Amino acid sequence: MLIRVQQRERHWRVVHPEKSEALTFRDGCAAFDFAAALAKEQHARSGEPCAVRVEVCDAYVDAARFD
């Protein structure tokens, strides 16, 4: 599973593939911490790999992975 943290104008949002709406944050660190906690929890529950990708403009980095 891939959880994405995206910068949109002056806000950050966390996009979870199983949720219909993204969660919006003013702070990128808070958005990343929230996404990492979701990924860690999902991995603990399912045992499947989960990752967090941070996306800004046309660039991205896979910032965390739970195998």
pTM: 0.92
**Which of 14, 63, 66 has the alpha carbon at shortest distance from 42?**
66
DSSP for 34-53 reads: HHHHHHHHHHHHH-S-EEEE
Q: How do the domains of the chain map onto residue ranges?
A: 2-66
Report pLDDT digits (tens) over 16-53. 999 999 999 999 999 999 999 999 999 999 999 999 99
Q: What is the pLDDT of residue 62?
A: 97
Task: Give the whole-angstrom CA distance, residue 40 versus residue 50.
Answer: 7
Edge-to-edge strands, sheet with 50-56: 23-25, 11-15, 2-8, 50-56, 59-66
Q: What is the pLDDT of residue 22?
A: 95
